[in-house]
């Protein structure tokens, strides 16, 4: 059982600005797991504000020893051991998880959505993300997003209403708002949410900083729109606490260490009556296709990561009628291609 990895840098089509940062590339680590002549692909996407990098991922992955296991089918134990190696390194851990799932699915000759017993007709519309920008660029990006039925808007900056008005100048599509912890005063946050509720906004992601739990409990009581935890929920163990301040959670493979834990998080969230969104970082079609396998289980997907880059290395899940549909290929359903630059 052999694990290898290569660093790569994604080029973003547009410089990407959220409430706290701005950038035009994303470092990723591509992972291959080979055993019995089958290769499984995985990926770690590491936006710099989350603390992982090419260096941390390379160091972590070099310490992953899969040769001591009898079979990749010992997935629970392998992933538990890898998670116990060190805290953090969530994206690097996800890369191994995705590669092992790809291998297992190929070995079983089925895509994971079938192994999990899921129905592709239940996949919801995915959103396309528009970062914080000038009114002209916001209007251009909105027009570029024609193939999408829903847009996601990054707010939490100085010009939130201007952003929304710029978009509403060109489209009436439903919007999902991600404040990225940008609103620090709960009364102002509520006023903003009430204003947004009148403008065909479906949900609000992470309105306030993750430390402001009591403010979120107050806001949840009063909000006319569902509030979704993003920064407040990385992993399975964060969900029970978040249930008091949010109506739902946004699960991302790079936050939660991969498909195995993401699947468990969906089941736990459902058991607690929470809604579920499935999100991503800027990623190649490798990690996006992995996430797409789980998407029949969720209420909202935001799987535009591969659409935001100009140098994808995989072909896999693709947009059909506004939904990010997995391919019918086994595993995570991808094939490696040459970068189109």
**CA angle 221–223–225, rounded 5-degree value:** 130
Q: Rounded to an integer, what distance in angstroms lies between the CA atom of residue 105 and that of residue 225?
A: 38
Our CB check for its own copies shows the closer of 2 and 77 to be 77
Our CB check for its own copies shows the closer of 114 and 168 to be 114
Our CB check for its own copies shows the closer of 131 and 296 to be 296
Q: Does 218 bind its own copies (CB under 8 A)?
A: no
Task: Choose, by CB under 8 A, the member of 23, 114, 139, 199 that binds its own copies.
Answer: 114
Q: Does 268 bind its own copies (CB under 8 A)?
A: yes
Q: Does 267 bind its own copies (CB under 8 A)?
A: yes
Q: How far is the CB of 236 from its own copies (least distance, A)?
A: 6
Interface segment toward its own copies; rule CB under 8 A; list 114-122, 143-151, 215-223, 313-321: 114-122
Q: Does 168 bind its own copies (CB under 8 A)?
A: no
Q: Rounded to an integer, what distance in angstroms lies between the CA atom of residue 47 and that of residue 283?
A: 10
Q: How far is the CB of 146 from its own copies (least distance, A)?
A: 31
Q: Does 108 bind its own copies (CB under 8 A)?
A: yes
Q: Does 122 bind its own copies (CB under 8 A)?
A: yes
Q: How far is the CB of 120 from its own copies (least distance, A)?
A: 9
Q: Does 73 bind its own copies (CB under 8 A)?
A: yes
Interface segment toward its own copies; rule CB under 8 A; list 108-116, 128-136, 159-167, 221-229: 108-116
Q: Does 241 bind its own copies (CB under 8 A)?
A: no
Q: Does 67 bind its own copies (CB under 8 A)?
A: no
- Secondary structure of the chain in HEC code, one letter for each residue: CEEEEEEEEEEEEEEEECCCCEEEEEEEEEEEEEECCEEEEEEEECCHHHCCCHHHHHHHHHCCCCCCCCCCCCHHHHHHHHHHHCCCCHHHHHHHHHHHHHHHHHHHCCEHHHHCCCCHHHCCCEEEEECCCCHHHHHHHHHHCCCCCEEEEECCCCCHHHHHHHHHHHCCCCEEEECCCCCCCHHHHHHHHHHHHCCCEEEEECCCCCCCHHHHHHHHHHCCCCEEECCCCCCHHHHHHHCCCCCEEEEEHHHHCCHHHHHHHHHHHHHCCCEEEEECCCCCHHHHHHHHHHHHHCCEECCCCCCCECCCCEECCEEECCEEECCCCCECCCEECCCCC
Site string for its own copies, 292-331 (x = CB under 8 A): ----xx----------------------------------
The pairing of strands 227-229 and 323-325 is unpaired
Q: Does 169 bind its own copies (CB under 8 A)?
A: no
Interface segment toward its own copies; rule CB under 8 A; list 16-24, 111-119, 205-213, 287-295: 111-119
Q: Does 119 bind its own copies (CB under 8 A)?
A: yes
Task: Choose, by CB under 8 A, the member of 272, 328, 335, 337 that binds its own copies.
Answer: 272
Binding site for its own copies (CB under 8 A): 71, 73-79, 104, 108-110, 114-119, 122, 236-237, 239-240, 260, 264, 267-268, 271-272, 296-297
């Amino acid at each position: 059982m052999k694990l290898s990895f290569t660093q790569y840098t994604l080029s973003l089509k547009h410089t990407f600005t959220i409430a706290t940062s701005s950038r035009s590339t994303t470092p990723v680590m591509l992972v291959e797991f080979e055993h019995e002549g089958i290769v499984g692909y995985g990926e770690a996407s590491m936006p710099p504000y989350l603390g992982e990098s090419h260096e941390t991922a390379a160091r972590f992955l070099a310490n992953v020893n899969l040769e001591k296991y009898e079979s990749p089918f010992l997935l629970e134990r392998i992933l538990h051991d890898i998670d116990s190696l060190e805290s953090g390194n969530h994206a690097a851990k996800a890369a191994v998880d995705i590669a092992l799932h790809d291998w297992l699915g190929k070995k079983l000759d089925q895509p994971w959505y079938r192994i999990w017993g899921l129905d592709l007709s239940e996949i919801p519309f995915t959103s396309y993300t528009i970062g914080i920008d000038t009114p002209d660029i916001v209007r251009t990006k909105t027009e570029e997003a024609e193939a999408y039925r829903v847009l996601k808007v990054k707010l939490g900056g100085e010009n939130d209403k201007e952003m929304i008005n710029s978009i509403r100048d060109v489209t009436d599509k439903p919007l999902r708002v991600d404040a990225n912890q940008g609103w620090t005063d709960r009364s102002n946050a509520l006023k903003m949410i009430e204003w947004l509720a009148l403008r065909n906004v479906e949900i609000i992601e992470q309105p306030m900083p993750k430390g402001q739990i009591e403010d979120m409990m107050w806001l949840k009581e009063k909000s006319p729109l569902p509030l979704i935890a993003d920064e407040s929920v990385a992993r399975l163990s964060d969900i029970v606490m978040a249930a008091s301040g949010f109506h739902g959670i946004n699960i991302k493979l790079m936050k939660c260490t991969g498909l195995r834990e993401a699947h468990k998080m969906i089941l736990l969230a459902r058991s607690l009556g929470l809604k579920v969104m499935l999100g991503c970082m800027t990623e190649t079609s490798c990690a996006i296709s992995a996430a797409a396998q789980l998407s029949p289980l969720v209420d909202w997907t935001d799987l535009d990561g591969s659409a935001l880059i100009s140098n994808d290395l995989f072909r896999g899940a693709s947009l059909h009628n506004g939904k990010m549909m997995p391919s019918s290929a086994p595993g995570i359903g991808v094939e490696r291609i040459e970068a189109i630059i």
